[in-house]
Amino acid sequence: MNDGNGLYGELFADREMAALLDDRAALQGMLDFEVALARAEAAAGVIPARAADAIGAQCKAELYDVAAIGKAATLAGNPAIPLVKALTARVAAIDPEAAKWVHYGATSQDVIDSGHAQQYGAAYRLILKRTARLAHALAALTRAHRHTPMIGRTFLQHAVPISFGIKAANWLDPVVSFHDDFMLYGQSAHQLGGAAGTLASLGDQAVAVLQAFGPIMPSIGAVYTPWHTQRHRPARIAAKLGIVMGHLGKMAQDIALMAQTEIGELAEPEAPGKGGSSAMPHKRNPVLCTLILAAAKRSPGLVSTMLAAMPQEHERAMGGWHAEWRTMAELFTITGSALGQMVTLIEGLQVFPERMRRNLDLTNGLVMAERVSLALAGAIGRGEAHHLLEEASRTCVASGRHLKDVLADNPALAGKLAPDELDRLFDPATYRGATDAIIDRILALYEGEREHMVSDG
């Protein structure tokens, strides 16, 4: 996995997230499982307390050769088998009697799932931290541009005026929802089930070991029913990461389109050497948007792999479980990276209200035709008003005149509108509908979650 030090730097994996999901962290997560297992069994009277202490003393990742364990894993079929062998050897060198209690009653899947859960728990907290920071930045952007008029676009064409504030609010809303959902359902879980999910090897003491095991595992609690081939938990986490990635992609695409040369309403944060071209010195490419979009396009395939892995045979999977290992880590990695890039993008986003206003006026008032038509409907009827505005719009396009001037010269409108009514109807800042109510509702949702976000962030 890219850790930020290779040829691609931190384009697709930032160092902070990569460190949580690298091989050394995976190894420590599995060793943490072995410590918790030994202590739980000691608490239940299954193994001597002295043995648990001896095992715990050898459960430090720096004591082991990751490459050697990996080489052995190639033959064994998973890394837990050579790790347990290496751990047993280290314990035996210090306390031969304690060595027979290493990994007692557990199976490889318990070790690997719990080790991954340890990693994903740390990644989960970082995702929430970055989501909270993104929400704070989007809320500030919403408030700052509540009344900044711009053109709304449908099918990539000018539609009707909106405010940049409501666009930012609509970026914020799914981020708040994701944070709320992910707090509840984004947490992975350890497990302990033994050979076939029954802990039969621990006999009458199995329940006591299970009860002791959960609270001992650091950072994350365990569920008290093994889930060796019940994969709804990792699949649900993957789906939620995929959903937020889709939304980050939508935001990045909006921003990139608004940063096009011909539009120029937004720009990414400036930095020396950022967004250049190898051929064109004048280029300022939206590189953050590009990287976020690249991650958003990769995430559906990763999510689909997690869903495809759910049908698992009987009490232990053959291939489905194995397919999850690198897939979930990669999904956490690209989500964390994209969130970090989006935070940088929104916190430093350059907004050009004057360019928004210029683009709003680009069609000589045509974008206000709907409003004028509705205002005239009461006086001359909806059908006639619509027909009149169609004709006036064609004249506007053909002549290059402003629609307001074309309408002012139309004898059919004489006496139908107050003298200053046309001026008001063509002011996009007053064509807001429920904009303020929508913004207020989204900001209220954000404020309702803000206390949780602050504690997580």
pLDDT of residue 413: 80
Give the Å distances, CA to CA, from 111 to 73, 117, 265, 414, 422. Answer: 14, 10, 52, 83, 73
Residue type, 452: H
C-alpha 304/C-alpha 50 separation (Å) is: 46
pLDDT of residue 417: 78
Q: What is the pLDDT along the chain (457 residues), one digit of tens a residue?
A: 556 667 777 888 899 999 999 999 999 999 999 999 999 999 999 999 999 999 999 999 999 999 999 999 999 999 999 999 999 999 999 999 999 999 999 999 999 999 999 999 999 999 999 999 999 999 999 999 999 999 999 999 999 999 999 999 999 999 999 999 998 888 888 889 999 999 999 999 999 999 899 888 765 656 678 889 899 999 999 999 999 999 999 999 999 999 999 999 999 998 755 555 444 444 578 999 999 999 999 999 999 999 999 999 999 999 999 999 999 999 999 999 999 999 999 999 999 999 999 999 999 999 999 899 998 888 888 999 899 999 999 999 999 999 999 988 888 887 787 768 888 999 998 999 999 999 999 999 999 888 777 554 4
Q: Please give the domain boundaries of the chain with CATH numbers for all domains.
A: 112-195+225-358+438-456 (1.20.200.10), 363-426 (1.10.40.30)
C-alpha 225/C-alpha 247 separation (Å) is: 34
pLDDT of residue 93: 96
Which tokens hold the place of 150?
């711009």
Torsion sign (Cα): 190, 196, 200, 202 = negative
pLDDT of residue 280: 43
Q: What is the DSSP letter of 229?
A: T
pLDDT of residue 12: 84
Cβ burial 226-248 (10 Å sphere, 16+ → b, else e): bbbbebebbbebbebbbbbbebb
Q: Which residues are catalytic?
A: 277, 316
Give the Å distances, CA to CA, from 94 to 28, 36, 42, 80, 287. Answer: 20, 20, 19, 21, 54
* Cβ proximity of 344 and 14 under 8 Å: no
pLDDT of residue 216: 85
pLDDT of residue 221: 57
pLDDT of residue 456: 47
pLDDT of residue 378: 83
Q: What are phi and psi of 456, to 5 degrees?
A: -80, -30
